Amino acid sequence: MDSSELYHIKQQFTLGAFRALVRQPLPDKSSPDYVSTLLYKARSYIALNQAKSALELIPEDAEDIALKAVSALARFVDSTKSSDAETSLEELRDLSVEIEGDDVDCTEKEKALVRVLAGTAFARAGEIEEALETLGSDSEDLEAVALIVQIYLSINRPDLAKKQFDRSKRWAEDDLLLQLIESTIGLVTGKDNYANTNSFYTEQLGNPSLSSPHLLTARGITRILRGEIQEAKSDLEESLVQQKGESEAEAAYVVAVGLGASKKPESEDLWAKFVSEHGSHPLVQDITQKSEMFDQYAANYVVPPQITLSA
Amino acid sequence: MSVMLTKFESKSNRVKGLAFHPTQPLLAAALHNGSVQLWNYRMGVLVDRFEEHEGPVRGVAIHPSRALLVTGGDDYKIKVWDIRPQNRRCLFTLNGHLDYVRTVQFHHEMPWIISASDDQTIRIWNSTSRQCIAVLTGHSHYVMSVQFHPKEDLIVSASMDQTVRVWDISGLRKTSPNSGGPGSSNPNGPGNFEAFDTFSTVKHVLEGHDRGVNFAMFHPTLPLIISAGDDRVIKIWRMSEMKAWEVDSCRGHFNNVSSALFHPKHELIVSCGEDKTVRVWDLAKRTAIQTFRREQDRFWVLAAHPNLNLFAAGHDSGLIVFKLERERPAFSVFQDTLYYVRDKYVRAYDFNTGADIGLLSVRKFGSPYVPPRTLSFNPAERAVILTINSDNGIYELTNLPQQAQGEVKDSSVDGKKGSGQSAIFVARNRFAVLNKTSQLIEVRDLSNSVVKTIKPPVQTNEIFYGGTACLILSSPTAVVLYDIQQQKTIAEINSPPVKYVVWSHDSALVALMSKHTITIANKNFSQHSLVHETIRIKSGAWDDAGVFIYSTLNHVKYCLAQGDHGVICTLDNPVYLTRVKGKTVYCLDRSARPRTITFDPTEYRFKLALLKNNYEEMLYIIKTSTLLGQSIIAYLQQKGFPEIALHFVQDTNTRFELAIECGNLDVAMETAKSINRPECWERLAQQALKQGNHKVVEKAYQQTKNFDKLSFLYLATGSKDKLSKMQKIADARGDPMSRFHNALYAGDVQGRISVLRDVGLHPLAYLTAKTNGLEDLAAEILEAAGLTEADVDDVPLFGPSTLKPPPVITPTTDLLWPSLSAGENFFDRALVNGQLEGGIEPAYVNGDAAAAGHSALDAWAQEEKQEDIDPEEGGWELDADGGEFQPAVDAEEAVAEEEEELGAGATPGPSETELWVRNSPLAGDHVAAGSFETAMELLNRQFGIVNFAALKPLFLSTYRSSHTYLSPYASLPPLKLHIRRNPGETAPSRVLPVAVRSLESIRTELAEGYRFVSMNKLAEAQSTFRSVLQALLLAVVSSDDQAKEWRDTVTAARECLLGVSIELERRRVIEEEPENITRNLELAAYFTQCQLQPPHMQIALRSAISVFAKANNQAHAARFAKRLLELKPDPKIVAQARQRIAAGDRNPRNAVEISYDEFSPFEICAATYTPIYKGTPSVHCPYTDATYLPQFKGNLDPLVQLAEIGASASGLPASW
């Protein structure tokens, strides 16, 4: 059983309250929670795409295998050159192999964490198969399950995701993360009009012990999916008030505005702004790609001559 | 019947007779020691005692409608009492019985009293004439009881002679039309027994008991009689007009049965006996249901309340009042609907319409005699969980039917049961069950399987919903807010056992109700306040403004979050509040019938406004309400708002007090004037002095003629002229001391001297004059005193005095000490502005506002609503291949073959966009799916579109708006989510992308184009119409009606575009080729030939008229004017048009010859803007159907610049 502080941190991490999490001070070094808190904090930095801050947080000479894995992940996320990325990936591969050995001195929890971190990096690198292999299909670690489920969902296999979820339901006592997993599956399958997802996020928004704009964003997106554009907009606006310029909320807001009954120029302006500010967001990249495709396909059609009137 | 709920108990001598008051909570008890007690059993107090009988009193009864009590005792006497507290006394005594009187009773409508006696007779007495009107003989032993039939002219008696007899007394009524009875006409008085026997006859003699019979009574509605005897048996008898016979016996008592009653409402029998038990029996089955045993006391008498579910039993050492079942109905409120249980049916009551329908039978749930205890409602699933106390506590989870059906569903059909004492929904798809004995809380999902088990941290007796992921645990000494996820206590409040929990509408506050306390806490229990009640608290509900309204046994009260509380109204009988809206309290009464109570919320609204500093509301209340009494004023004063209280008060004394208290001198002054008592002025002066308002002080001193102080005040303010006035006044008053004072203060030496002279103090006057250098005056004084300088030469010489009042540096006479404004006093401002007269009712949130949207319940329900929306589901279903690409998503079917796939080897499945592409033949859907290639193919095939460049922004924005991204899990690439048109649909063969541009939104844009035309912004209009036509290509159409609408929109947009283009061309011609009048006129004429909107047509016609008139083509202009008139324009325009027509009639010629034949129908070539008359060859745009001259075939259409003119096209696919 985790201590109350650690539980809270875990809850924040699970629900995406990364900004609040990194703002919290670390406990005393002698505290039994120190390393766990440090790990969560570093992972939150990584989730916020501030891998450098994560690296600063982790002591260079960390012996702890989980810490090593986190710093490897941080370096991977931070790397701009493919060779650097490959080095970090190699490091994570080594760590995953290392924990399989008999003589390693670490707990099951740490092992699971290393797998999760390695799996995250592999998934980011597009090595789906490797990620799944590392995580293992019979994992009894919910974080691993969450990862596996999301990977399955990303390759359009909600059926497998569902199966993985059903499997973990047997041993994971209605954990918050389990509920999140269920809600994520609902997000993709759209079962019962996204009812589960919507109620999950609504319930968590009402949770007195935590607040995270990420939840608002998530509910906003759910509402977009449910076709409640006005409500979605208000959620997203609220989320953006709480964290200005957050790319996910901005992206969703652009979509919501595009779907709403608002004027076209407004949506286009927002889009232009979004493209300039968050050029690396998958939505932008996707659209750029589509735009190229458009030109390519449009070129297949011969445009007949304009009428020229000899006036 | 698992419980017998004792409501009241008293200790006394043996109780032999009992009677309930029909309306008030009073119970009369006849005691063996000769006393008759009147108890208020609700409050538990002895109201009165009647002690005139000698020896035991056995019979007692209360009049059904009047404040009368009748008693009969072992002193053979029957006494009638007035029980009104102010009037209580023995009204009269009926003498006649020759032995103990066993029972007495009032008739329900006649002024009759019936009595049974050990003298073997039954007597009926007229309580008006106070005489015996009938003596019924026949029993051959003590008559132990006698009762009137509740409706008919029958009586039933029980006797030690082992019989029960039914008597017909209809004769008695017939012969006593004036309720006098034969006795009144009988001069012999009640001595002559035989005379009465003709009026009453024994109808039936019921034999069957083996011993003496102690009690017998009629069933209130059925032809049944119940009797209880010393043979330990309760017998049930049925009677008809002709005969009566024994039906059955209830055996079980193991000593004499003293009494047995029919339950007034249920099919039950309640009996008591000397075996020290009270027993409950099923009337239909004649089986024992429940036994209540006492250790010591034999039971002697039972009484049932005529209307309520209450019984009383008298025993050797007192009495008990008890209920057989809980009356609190199980209920739950969601939005405007109350879900509750009545008579073992779950019902829904709509607060707005009052509709009340049964939804679900729960008759088979638990014991048939026990009503369900609690109900928890889940709006998202439209499910209920009920709990019941029988069978050691069980719960049942059932779905409610969507609508009331002809045959009400029984919960046993699909209900999911389990054991547990407390069960509630904690989330949309979770509920928690408490098992009290094992002290475990199980969280279960909707299929009733346990997903989590919690060991509560405290001894828990009941659980309640505690907000998201939380439970409220009620323990004997505290109430705990418990986080289910984290399995830990968030907060704990010490409290007596909490019985009910009510959340406010916005889930910000919660009321925790115990027997005698209410704790109001915020949602994480960090703040709370406590309200104590001496009377038992029954129920409560939140007003929308955050006021808690609750009911006790006898009051409806309110309680503010900070703990202030007060009475709203009194209650005759307890009710269970379900909801408060505006001035109405909705509640369930004890028989679970919905009721409403209207009340005046002014008091608590006012207090709430005060707490929230909502002055507008307060002002409004002050203005409109008349009901604010002393208590409010006291409250305001106590809370430190005297200035507000001031505005309530008319009474001048109170106003004055309040004004002084809050330092409002103006009001104080005003009121002091009207009171005009010295003490008032003095207090006003004091207060004004404190505040430095010397003018008020001055006034006050003037009023009280406090000259000394007044003078001193003038000195202090340096008001010399006032001081001299004061001198004059003092002179007038003949008060030399005062004059002297004033002179001194004013530094008026002469004045001083003159005072001294006037009072004859010449020496002092002389000296004063002398020392101040007024030699002449001194001499004058001497002279007046009849002395000379020589007489006073022994007086030492003093130098001139330097003593004098300080000079006035700043004249403060007209200056008041500036007082700091005590903040913005809203009320003063309002009063000054006169706003008080015209206050507008502020938006008080209660009841009027929609319930706050954040409560979890609402959210659950919203999902529910959404599910119903299913726009044209299956519209695009292609049945033939519907199943082909199922397996990837439909896990159910594919389980077997996919088992081995779990893990690393998983292959990607078909993406949602692929499904979209497969499911739709519409280009818009393909664009949304990102399949631009197929979208272009479709557009080309359907509409002959070839120039896609213009559509690129549209394609991209459509695609962009159909997808969204979310990262549910840290650091992974976000999931791409696809927005569906039909969120309720999950079958892969039916999912479709969202309609980014709906037909409606495009039509809105079209309307904008119309506006541009009206505003003469033709260039903007042209581009708008083009954009409309582009957008229409990607519009989503899913029915014939929509397809027609789509086509109409395309045509309308095309016509407008054509018209606008022609007009633009005309303007270009005017600009660039001003001499080309023919073309100018032609284009103006063609413009009128487009199918425009009526207002635009007017514009086109008016412009044509003016152009043609200018060119002197009067005939054409007149023709246009005629067409204009048909459109019924403005009167002004009509006049102009008429002129034009007149001009045309005068001069029907055309100066310029143009190519325009309005009488033969023609289309306009959209490229050259020339007419193509009917019958001549033409080609069309495959998309807009615009007409072109044949030579343009194969060119790009110039109008929209999308399609190839004359290309073949299949048109909009109609596959719905």
Instruction: Catalogue all structural domains in chain A, each as residue range(s) with its CATH number.
Output: 215-296 (1.25.40)
How far is A18 from A242, CA to CA, in rounded Å? 13
Q: Which of B299, B323, B347 is the last residue of a domain?
A: B323
- Is the pLDDT at A269 greater than 90, yes or no? no
Identify the pLDDT of residue B819: 63
Does any domain span residue B969?
no
Q: Which of B323, B338, B355 is the last residue of a domain?
A: B323
Average pLDDT over residues B942-968: 85
Cβ of residue B961 closer than 8 Å to a chain A Cβ: yes
Alpha helices (runs of H) in B986-1113, residue ranges in sequence order: 999-1014, 1018-1033, 1040-1072, 1077-1087, 1094-1110
Helices B1040-1072 and B999-1014: angle between axes, nearest 10 degrees: 30
Helix, strand, coil tally for chain B in percent (to 5): 30, 30, 40
Does any domain span residue B869?
no
Nearest CA to A244 out of A267, A264, A268, A217 is that of: A217
- Is the distance from CB of B542 to CB of B523 less than 8 angstroms? no
Least confident of B47-56, B102-111, B534-543, B1142-1151: B1142-1151
Cβ of residue B965 closer than 8 Å to a chain A Cβ: yes
- Is the distance from CB of B496 to CB of B489 less than 8 angstroms? no
Residue B230 binned pLDDT confidence (cut-offs 50, 70, 90): very high
Does any domain span residue B210?
yes
Handedness of CA B847, B853, B854, B860 (dihedral sign): positive
Cβ of residue A195 closer than 8 Å to a chain B Cβ: yes
Tell me the pLDDT tens digit for each residue of B321-354: 998 877 788 999 888 889 999 888 888 899 888 8
Helices B952-960 and B932-943: angle between axes, nearest 10 degrees: 130
Partner residue facing A225 (CB), from B910, B960, B983? B983
Give the residue numbers spanning the domain of B311: 5-171+197-323
Handedness of CA B1125, B1128, B1129, B1135 (dihedral sign): positive
Cβ of residue A305 closer than 8 Å to a chain B Cβ: yes
Average pLDDT over residues B98-108: 93
- Sequence-ordered list of residues with C-beta below 8 angstroms from that of A269, at least 6 positions apart, any chain: none
A 82-111 near B (Cβ less than 8 A): none
Does any domain span residue B428?
no
With contacts defined as CB-CB under 8 Å, which chain B residues touch A248?
Answer: 965-967, 974
Residue B162 zone, left/alpha/beta (φ > 0; ψ -120 to 50; rest): left
Identify the pLDDT of residue B832: 45
For residue B855, the chain A residue with the least C-alpha distance is A206
Q: Which of B291, B323, B355 is the last residue of a domain?
A: B323
- Give the amino acid at A245: G
Residue B76 binned pLDDT confidence (cut-offs 50, 70, 90): very high
Identify the pLDDT of residue B850: 37
How far is B17 from B36, CA to CA, in rounded Å? 9
- Is the distance from CB of B127 to CB of B113 less than 8 angstroms? yes
φ, ψ dihedrals at B1164, nearest 5°: -110, 130
Residue A29 zone, left/alpha/beta (φ > 0; ψ -120 to 50; rest): alpha
Does any domain span residue B1132?
no
Record: contact A306-B1195, CB cut-off 8 A = yes
CA distance B1042 to chain A (A): 19
CA distance B1154 to chain A (A): 17
With contacts defined as CB-CB under 8 Å, which chain B residues touch A208?
Answer: 467-468, 470, 490, 523-524
3-state secondary structure of B301: strand
**CATH number where B539 lies:** 2.40.128
Q: How many domains does chain B have?
A: 2
Q: Which run of H or of E encompasses B896? A: helix B891-898
DSSP state of B917: H
- Sequence-ordered list of residues with C-beta below 8 angstroms from that of A154, at least 6 positions apart, any chain: A123, A128, B973, B975, B976
Cβ of residue B1094 closer than 8 Å to a chain A Cβ: no
- Is the pLDDT at B1155 greater than 50, yes or no? yes
How far is A299 from A294, CA to CA, in rounded Å? 8
Tell me the pLDDT tens digit for each residue of B1107-1116: 888 888 888 8
Does any domain span residue B79?
yes
Task: For chain A, give the number of residues.
Answer: 311
Torsion from C-alpha of B921, B927, B931, B934, nearest 10 degrees: 50
Tell me the pLDDT tens digit for each residue of B1040-1088: 888 888 888 888 888 888 888 888 888 888 888 888 888 888 888 888 8
Partner residue facing A294 (CB), from B952, B1192, B1204? B952
- Is the pLDDT at B696 greater than 50, yes or no? yes
Average pLDDT over residues A210-214: 81
Higher-confidence position of B760 and B889: B760
* Mutant choice from B966, B1024, B1197 vs A, greatest count of A C-beta within 10 A: B966
Q: How many CB atoms lie within 10 A of CB B1076?
A: 13
Structure tokens at B652: 């001048």
**Mean pLDDT over each residue of chain B, to the nearest integer:** 81
Residue B15 binned pLDDT confidence (cut-offs 50, 70, 90): very high
Least confident of A201-205, A207-211, B4-8, B1212-1216: B1212-1216
Partner residue facing A157 (CB), from B451, B908, B969? B908
Q: What percent of chain A has pLDDT over 70?
A: 95
- Which residue reads 């043979």 in tokens? B231
Task: For chain B, give the number of residues.
Answer: 1216
Identify the pLDDT of residue B29: 94
- Is the distance from CB of B35 to CB of B19 less than 8 angstroms? no
- Which residue reads 């589960």 in tokens? A196
A-B contacts (CB, under 8 Å) = 308
**Mean pLDDT over each residue of chain A, to the nearest integer:** 84
Does any domain span residue B577?
yes
Nearest CA to B903 out of A148, A59, A82 is that of: A148
Higher-confidence position of B859 and B549: B549
How far is A300 from A306, CA to CA, in rounded Å? 18
The pTM of the whole model exceeds 0.90: no
With contacts defined as CB-CB under 8 Å, which chain A residues touch B488?
Answer: 4, 7
Identify the pLDDT of residue B299: 93
Top mean pLDDT of B142-151, B263-272, B614-623 is at: B142-151
Cα A108 to chain centroid, rounded: 24
How far is B947 from B945, CA to CA, in rounded Å? 6
**CATH number where B74 lies:** 2.130.10.10
Partner residue facing A193 (CB), from B963, B973, B983? B983
Alpha helices (runs of H) in chain A, residue ranges in sequence order: 4-14, 18-23, 34-47, 51-57, 65-78, 82-100, 108-124, 128-135, 142-154, 158-169, 176-189, 195-205, 213-226, 229-242, 247-259, 264-277, 282-298
Record: contact B960-A283, CB cut-off 8 A = yes
Record: contact A268-B957, CB cut-off 8 A = yes
Record: contact B468-A228, CB cut-off 8 A = no
Does any domain span residue B588?
yes
Average pLDDT over residues B886-894: 39
- Is the pLDDT at B317 greater than 80, yes or no? yes
How far is B968 from A217, CA to CA, in rounded Å? 10
Structure tokens at A149: 């489920």
With contacts defined as CB-CB under 8 Å, which chain A residues touch B484?
Answer: 174
How far is B462 from B443, CA to CA, in rounded Å? 14
What number is the ipTM of this complex? 0.91
3-state secondary structure of A58: coil
Which segments of B484-575 are extended strands (E)? Answer: 488-494, 500-503, 509-513, 517-522, 528-532, 537-542, 548-552, 555-559, 565-570
Identify the pLDDT of residue A261: 63
- Is the distance from CB of B41 to CB of B63 less than 8 angstroms? no
Cβ of residue A198 closer than 8 Å to a chain B Cβ: yes
Tell me the pLDDT tens digit for each residue of B1016-1052: 888 888 888 888 888 888 888 888 888 888 888 888 8
Record: contact A283-B967, CB cut-off 8 A = no
Least confident of B366-380, B489-503, B834-848, B1010-1024: B834-848
For residue A9, the chain B residue with the least C-alpha distance is B486
What are the residues facing B105 on neighbouring strands? B114
How far is B340 from B266, CA to CA, in rounded Å? 20
For residue A225, the chain B residue with the least C-alpha distance is B979
